[in-house]
Structure 1
Amino acid sequence: MGYNSIYRADLFAGQTIIVTGGGSGIGRCTAHELASLGATVAIVGRNLEKLETVKAEIEAVGGKVSIWVCDIREEAKVIETIGAIIERHGGINGLVNNAGGQYRMPLRDISTKGFEAVVRNNLTGGFIFMRETFKLWMEQHGGAIVNMIADIWNGWPNYAHSASARGGMWTLTESAASEWASYGVRVNAVAPGGIASSGLDTYEPEAQKQILEFPKAIPLQRWGNASEISSAITYLLSPGAAYITGACIRIDGGAPNARVCWGPLREQCNSTPFDGFHLEQPPKLLTEGPKQHSSCKPA
């Protein structure tokens, strides 16, 4: 049994697509889906063991994948890695700028060093990967880039460093889409909201308490999952999105549309998650912790 994608099996046959942060979470899921659709997936990350695990998973179901240990924040290493991927696979058709991360902290307590570290992880590193992929390959051959941002539309309290970086990545996406369109390079973004991925288990206890209350504030009254993010990324990379650039797909259950003046959100719902990833396991926080709010099934 392999990935259960909604797209045709040969959609990316003969193409090479880079997925940064491909060793876990959304990146792992996306790598699986793209490989199931015929792509050779170059997964990039800092942890060799995690990359090797994903490589074995993909190859077990007949997919093609290569692994590259690289910290996206290190410019020289990024340049070296992209050059090596081109040499190994003969080109780059797509880039999924997924790597990133953050921690919970009130704005007043974020140090300058901490702020800069998160911005470099979620914005500067992605910029370097975009720029070098364009210069080393896509400027001459075209391609598609999908950048990961987040549900930042009404601010992100306690994560202002990441909100700043993700907001920057969004305007960077719009800028690159304009500058690079004439080269046949499309640049878009996806903005996940609350996603039930392994990353939830990494937050400290105080943050986890708030996480468990999250569905109450979401019109669809549930968590999203990695498959639902991957589906949007796959679409933006596909020929079906050939006239889409400088756009962002929100994948957030309608979170930014909820308004206090509307009153309490209806707890019951009929929103059925799409779960295409055959190896996905929900985070322990949502399966072993206190029961979630809402009668909806968890994503």
Structure 2
Amino acid sequence: MSYASIFRPGLFDGQVAIVTGGGSGIGRCTAHELASLGATVALVGRKPEKLEAVRAEIEEDGGRAACWSLDIRVEEAVEEAIAGILDRFGRIDGLVNNAGGQFPAPLAAINQKGWDAVVRTNLTGGFLMARACYNRWMAANGGAIVNIVADMWMGMPGMGHSGAARAGMVNFTETAALEWGPSGVRVNAVAPGWIASSGLDQYPPAMRETIRGLAKAVPLGRLGTEAEISAAICFLLSPAAAFVSGATLRVDGAAPNVKGHWPLPDHAPAPAYDGFHRAAPPAVLED
């Protein structure tokens, strides 16, 4: 089997794309789709064994990938990795700032260490990656950056540290689109809603029933798939989005639009798109 992308074969032939958080979940799926469309993918993450597993999958499927294990929150490590990618491949056409993470907690229970860790991962790390790609290659050659944020509209209770960081990344996206646009660099964001990804298995057991009930609060009646996020990313990296910059594309089934005075009726879930041939449902959603 191979990735069943909606995009034409060879769309990214000859291009090099970096995917942070490429060892699992949405990052893994996106790396597979980009590779299936001809891109050489630089997988970036903290756990080398997970990156190597994805690299092996991509190469088994006929694609090209290489791994860089680092902490994107460390400026020197980021600069060294981007230099290494350029030394090896000679160009960087696209950056997918996907790496992120958070833990559930009310604001009053988050200490400074926890706050700083989440903000550095979800905001500072993405800035460092984007700045290094821009300064070292894109300023002179153009390119496209896609920052992955989250459904944090109107607040993110229970994960306020992540919501603040993601909101900051949206503003960074808009600012970078303006400042870097004259260099031919497009900067956009994708805001996933509740996605049936391996990331759901990282939350504590106490959240199991909450996670299993999320689909009831989505107008489309289901969680999203990793492939639906990857497709949005690939669109924003593609020539079809040549005049799209500074935008945030929500992929959330209209969940943020739900209002307390307008209850959702019982209904069948809307059809899903899942072109990722190696996708596996998170354990928390299995019966």
TM-score (norm 1): 0.95
1:270 CA drift (Å): 4.8
Count, aligned residues:
287
Structure 2 Cα separation of the partners of residues 236 and 228 of structure 1: 13
3-state SS of the aligned residue for 1:27? Answer: helix
Gaps of 5+ in 2: none
Match in the other structure for 1:236: 236
3-state SS of the aligned residue for 2:261? Answer: helix
Structure 2 Cα separation of the partners of residues 159 and 35 of structure 1: 33
Counterpart check, 1:51 vs 2:48: no
Structure 2 Cα separation of the partners of residues 169 and 104 of structure 1: 20
Counterpart check, 1:276 vs 2:275: yes
Counterpart check, 1:204 vs 2:207: no
Structure 2 Cα separation of the partners of residues 202 and 63 of structure 1: 29
Q: Deviations over 1:152-209 (max 9, x none)?
A: 1121110000000000000000000000000000000000010011111111122222
Structure 2 Cα separation of the partners of residues 250 and 208 of structure 1: 25
Structure 2 Cα separation of the partners of residues 226 and 115 of structure 1: 27
Structure 1 Cα separation of the partners of residues 245 and 266 of structure 2: 36
Report the AA paired with residue 65 of structure 1. Answer: A
3-state SS of the aligned residue for 1:274? Answer: coil
Structure 2 Cα separation of the partners of residues 31 and 219 of structure 1: 29
Match in the other structure for 1:220: 220
Structure 1 Cα separation of the partners of residues 18 and 39 of structure 2: 10
Structure 2 Cα separation of the partners of residues 207 and 61 of structure 1: 35
3-state SS of the aligned residue for 1:65? Answer: strand
Structure 2 Cα separation of the partners of residues 205 and 105 of structure 1: 14
Runs of 4+ in 1 over 6 A off after TM superposition: none
3-state SS of the aligned residue for 2:4? Answer: coil
Report the AA paired with residue 274 of structure 1. Answer: Y
3-state SS of the aligned residue for 2:19? Answer: strand
Match in the other structure for 2:72: 72
Match runs of 1:71-90 below 5 Å: 71-90=71-90
Match runs of 1:241-256 below 5 Å: 241-256=241-256
Structure 1 Cα separation of the partners of residues 185 and 271 of structure 2: 34
Structure 2 Cα separation of the partners of residues 281 and 154 of structure 1: 31
Match in the other structure for 1:123: 123
Verify the 8 A CA contact 2:222 2:269 in the aligned structure 1: no
Structure 2 Cα separation of the partners of residues 128 and 221 of structure 1: 37
- What's the C-alpha RMSD, in Å, of the aligned pairs? 0.7
Match in the other structure for 1:267: 266
Structure 1 Cα separation of the partners of residues 105 and 86 of structure 2: 39
Structure 2 Cα separation of the partners of residues 149 and 159 of structure 1: 13
Structure 1 Cα separation of the partners of residues 161 and 266 of structure 2: 32
Q: Deviations over 1:209-261 (max 9, x none)?
A: 21112111111110101000000000000000000000011010101111111
Gaps of 5+ in 1: 289-299
Q: Deviations over 1:113-141 (max 9, x none)?
A: 11011000000000000111100000000
Structure 2 Cα separation of the partners of residues 87 and 40 of structure 1: 14
Match in the other structure for 1:22: 22
Match in the other structure for 1:6: 6
Structure 1 Cα separation of the partners of residues 205 and 154 of structure 2: 25
Match in the other structure for 1:191: 191
Report the AA paired with residue 211 of structure 1. Answer: I
Match in the other structure for 1:98: 98
Structure 1 Cα separation of the partners of residues 11 and 265 of structure 2: 39
Match in the other structure for 2:284: 285
Report the AA paired with residue 105 of structure 1. Answer: A
Structure 2 Cα separation of the partners of residues 149 and 270 of structure 1: 25
Match in the other structure for 2:176: 176
What's the % identity of the aligned pairs?
57
Deviation larger for 75-84 or 196-205: 196-205
Match in the other structure for 1:134: 134
Report the AA paired with residue 130 of structure 1. Answer: A
